[in-house]
């Protein structure tokens, strides 16, 4: 495939978020994002990257996965709470592969790359902001889509038509940093009956380290009240919120500012 992508990094680590957390995963981080969320911890991917052909990216993924080729686990158990759409295959091959960013869907060649990786037999995840149309993504890809809360500074960019394209194998993530974010997420879950569509993730905003605070990021709106992770968890319990509380495992295992993990 001669088509190209601008790639920030490709590395093997553990999946740190979503219902797939804890499983080995190869991350393909693509360059560029059109949002500037207040809590963004990957601002280095806004413009740093190297152009690679799709074959080069695929070959690197296959090479990183080589040590896992003889390993497989039952698909339903590994996937967590939701069934696999390709339930005819009871085995999930590891590692997972995730396209992230930046915003992968800003580069149109991310679509054929995901299809090629699915054709290779990988379980492919897509981490996307929710501000780009997801309808063209290969149906085999598990889409982990943000709905941006007010504290991000980018809530006006949510593309609500994406909700109609989500499947049970996809996931919706709310990143919560303030009490106002939590209330907003709770109302959207009820308004759009999101729990009936796919698994819901509530992710607490991990404070940025000094080196991560890019000046281009939006500011949290004035008047917002920060919420701690314990308070967030307790409010979810008290409200019987039909969602999964998650922390970013990679920031617990490694220093929060470390790349390539």
> Residue range 74-85: average pLDDT?
47
pLDDT confidence of residue 83? 43
Q: Model confidence over 125-153: pLDDT tens digits?
A: 999 999 999 999 999 999 999 999 999 99
Residue 75 binned pLDDT confidence (cut-offs 50, 70, 90): low
In the chain the domains, ranked by start, together with CATH numbers, are: 4-253 (3.20.20.70)
Vertex 98 angle, CA 101 and 168, to 5°:
110
CA 105 to chain centre: 12
Helical pair 110-119 and 54-64, crossing angle rounded to 10 deg: 40
Per-residue pLDDT tens digits for 5-50:
999 999 999 999 999 999 999 999 999 999 999 999 999 999 999 9
Bridge-based pairing state of the strands 171-176 and 200-204: parallel
Structure tokens at 75: 């698909």
Tokens 């799709």 appear where? 54
**Edge-to-edge strands, sheet with 124-128:** 50-53, 4-14, 24-30, 96-100, 124-128, 142-146, 171-176, 200-204, 244-246
Nearest to 144 by CA among 6, 43, 21, 37: 21
Please report the pLDDT score of residue 214 as a whole number: 84
How does residue 77 score in pLDDT terms, banded at 50, 70 and 90? very low
pLDDT at 105: 98
Please state which of the ranges 14-23, 71-80, 170-179, 208-217 shows the lowest mean pLDDT. Answer: 71-80
Each residue's pLDDT tens digit, 89-98? 456 789 999 9
pLDDT at 251 (0 to 100): 80
Q: What is the rounded CA–CA span in Å between residue 99 and residue 126?
A: 5
Q: How large is the average pLDDT for residues 64-75? A: 73
pLDDT (0 to 100) of residue 164: 98
At 1, the pLDDT band (50, 70, 90 cuts) reads low
Distance CA 97, CA 10 (A): 10
The band of 84, judged by pLDDT with boundaries at 50, 70 and 90, is very low
Distance CA 109, CA 202 (A): 30
CA distances to 160, 176, 196 from 192, rounded to whole Å, are 10, 18, 9
Q: How many CB atoms lie within 10 A of CB 149?
A: 27
pTM for the whole structure: 0.90
Radius of gyration over every alpha carbon of the chain, rounded to an integer in angstroms: 18
pLDDT of 79 higher than 70: no
Q: Which pLDDT score is estimated for 82? A: 44
Contact 154, 37 (CB under 8 A): yes
Under DSSP, the state recorded for 206 is P
């Amino acid at each position: 495939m001669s088509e190209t992508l601008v790639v920030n990094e490709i590395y093997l680590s553990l999946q740190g978020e979503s219902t797939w957390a804890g499983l080995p995963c190869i991350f393909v981080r693509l360059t560029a994002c059109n949002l500037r969320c207040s809590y963004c911890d990957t601002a280095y991917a806004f413009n740093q990257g190297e152009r690679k052909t799709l074959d080069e990216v695929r070959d690197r993924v296959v090479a990183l996965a080589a040590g896992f080729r003889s390993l497989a686990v039952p698909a339903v158990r590994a996937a967590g709470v939701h069934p696999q759409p390709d339930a005819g295959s009871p085995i999930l091959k590891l590692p997972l592969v995730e396209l992230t960013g930046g915003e992968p869907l800003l580069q149109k060649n991310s679509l054929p790359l995901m299809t090629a990786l699915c054709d290779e037999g990988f379980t492919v995840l897509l981490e996307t902001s929710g501000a780009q149309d997801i309808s063209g993504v290969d149906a085999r890809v598990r889409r982990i889509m943000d709905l941006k809360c007010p504290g991000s500074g980018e809530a006006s960019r949510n593309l609500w038509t994406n909700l109609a394209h989500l499947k049970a194998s996809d996931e919706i993530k709310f990143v919560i940093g303030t009490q106002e974010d939590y209330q907003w997420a709770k109302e959207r879950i009820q308004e759009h009956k999101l729990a009936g569509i796919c698994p819901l993730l509530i992710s607490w905003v991990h404070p940025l380290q000094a080196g991560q605070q890019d000046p281009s990021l939006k500011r949290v709106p004035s008047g917002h009240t920060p919420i701690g992770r314990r308070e967030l968890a307790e409010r979810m319990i008290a409200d019987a919120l039909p969602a999964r509380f998650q922390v970013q495992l990679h920031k617990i295992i490694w220093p929060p500012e470390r790349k390539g993990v």
